[in-house]
Structure 1
Amino acid sequence: MLRRSLLATLPALILPPGLAAAQNRPALPPADAGVVPPQARAPLLARAEAYLNSIGTMRARFLQLAQNGGSAEGTAYISRPGRMRFDYDPPEPLLLVASDNQFLYYDRELKQPSVVPVGATPLGLLLRREIRFAGDVEVLEVTRNAGFLGITLRRRDAPAEGRLSLIFSEEPMELRQWLVVDGQGRQTRVTLSAIETGMRLERGLFTFNDPTFFEQERNR
């Protein structure tokens, strides 16, 4: 079943196989182009860290592509630290919300919620209070190509959970895309557009532990 397929692969945000192929794929460079040698990484990593840590809130449109060619679009919200929301456009009835160290998967048609730990997905790295490409975060590769900076990383103590590649435009510095590869090698690519930062986001977008959350969702 389509929904069961998504739930089984939720930690990597893999799309179900029944989604239609994307018609307009983003023209961003591959993450493995222009590898930066380790001795030249430090200033690039520092700049990316500073940019990510400067983000309090973000709203953007997203296009999500699965390895099998399936695609979906919607609106993404980030409120750091700790909160993220993916609202999928119809006809997809899906909602993904991160809050309180949990990731909620909610099917609006079935009215069925499921929860996994935020730490079960590499995307949890983006929700930390302070993002550092050091310590328990291992940088696997840094690339530069055609005005884009790519940083591939994973949790040092959990390599089996997969890896995360972040793609930034350099001028101006802006997060444009991420690629999640799970422990089984399955890939999901999310490309952001119409990016806005610094706006006020209602806390109710993320507080799925509030008893009124699902009632509000039914009225959206």
Structure 2
Amino acid sequence: MILKTNMIRLAVCTLAPLAAAGLALVVPAIAQSSNALASVQSHLKSTSSMTAEFVQTDRNGQRLTGQLTLKRPGKIRFQYQKGVPLLIVGDGSSLTMIDYEVRQVQRWPVKNSPLGALLDPDRDLTKYAKVLPTGNGDVLSVEVKDPKRPEYGTITMVFVRDGAAPGGLRLRGWVALDSQNNRTRIDLSNQKFNVAVADSAFKWTDPRPKQRGRVG
């Protein structure tokens, strides 16, 4: 049980700031076009909020499910399945991992996480991103990393062309990788865009002694 819990924590931590990632990600079926980054940027700017179900898979094949809630700029919540004592919340400035089992809280600036590419619609992707080539014209895959700050890690976002989605693209998921070859994959389903999301969705209960209460 302890080993399983530690594996879950490791997979969750990969979603927060990653270690230096010197390995290339290989994602099949990726479309490449001259305006691909512009299309992704348009999608991000056109998406003010999103909810989705997610499946998280680590390099050992262990899977977790949960509910993703996103509100730009900067807010995100990973609510894991019942029985997983972990929660990840971005409140607009910080990305926080709350571990209710050991009563610990870890926090990083959102900008120091690869998830910053998803949460900041004004971020200039041309400075950090590249399109990975593929033979499938309906799928775009964009690798994002800051070459000046490799310790922030790498995220590869996968989009599917969908005329009903903002900017004509639907985020299908992403892959994150750290320097110890810890690979975490997120697959999304039942995406709903630009729905009403209250700011209270990004509050959480602090498990630390003498600091209980709603924060966020």
What TM-score comes out, normalization by structure 2 length? 0.77
Q: What amino acid does structure 2 have at the position aligned with 1:116?
A: W
Number of residues of Structure 1 aligned to a counterpart in Structure 2: 195
Shift of 1:76: 0.2
**Tell me, which stretches of 5 or more residues in structure 1 are unaligned?**
15-29, 215-220
1:34-183 to 2 correspondences below 5 Å: 36=32, 41-135=33-127, 137-139=128-130, 141-145=132-136, 147-172=138-163, 173-183=169-179
Q: Deviations over 1:102-124 (max 9, x none)?
A: 21111234443222332342112
C-alpha RMSD of matched pairs (Å): 2.8
> Please, which moves more after superposition, 57-66 or 43-52?
43-52
Shift of 1:5: 5.0
Q: What amino acid does structure 1 have at the position aligned with 2:110?
A: V
Which structure is richer in relative contact order (CA contacts within 8 A, separation 6 or more)?
2
1:13 corresponds to? 15
Q: What amino acid does structure 2 have at the position aligned with 1:161?
A: Y
Q: Deviations over 1:34-80 (max 9, x none)?
A: 573xxxx4312111110111110100000001011111000000100
Q: Distance in 2 between matches of 1:104 and 1:34?
A: 32
Match of 2:183 among 174, 180, 187: 187
> Please, which moves more after superposition, 71-80 or 107-116?
107-116
Q: Distance in 2 between matches of 1:32 and 1:206?
A: 34
Contact 1:12 1:122 in 2 (8 A): no
Q: What amino acid does structure 2 have at the position aligned with 1:206?
A: F
Q: What amino acid does structure 2 have at the position aligned with 1:119?
A: K
Q: Distance in 2 between matches of 1:34 and 1:177?
A: 13
Provide closer, same or farther for how the CA distance between residues 171 and 202 of structure 1 changes in structure 2, counting only shifts above 3 A. Answer: closer
Q: Distance in 2 between matches of 1:93 and 1:209?
A: 12
Provide closer, same or farther for how the CA distance between residues 34 and 200 of structure 1 changes in structure 2, counting only shifts above 3 A. Answer: closer
1:21 corresponds to? none
Q: What amino acid does structure 1 have at the position aligned with 2:99?
A: D
- 1:212 matched to 2:208? The reply is no
Contact 1:11 1:116 in 2 (8 A): no
Provide closer, same or farther for how the CA distance between residues 168 and 74 of structure 1 changes in structure 2, counting only shifts above 3 A. Answer: same
Q: Distance in 2 between matches of 1:140 and 1:150?
A: 6
Q: Deviations over 1:82-117 (max 9, x none)?
A: 110000011212211012422111123444322233
Contact 1:83 1:97 in 2 (8 A): yes
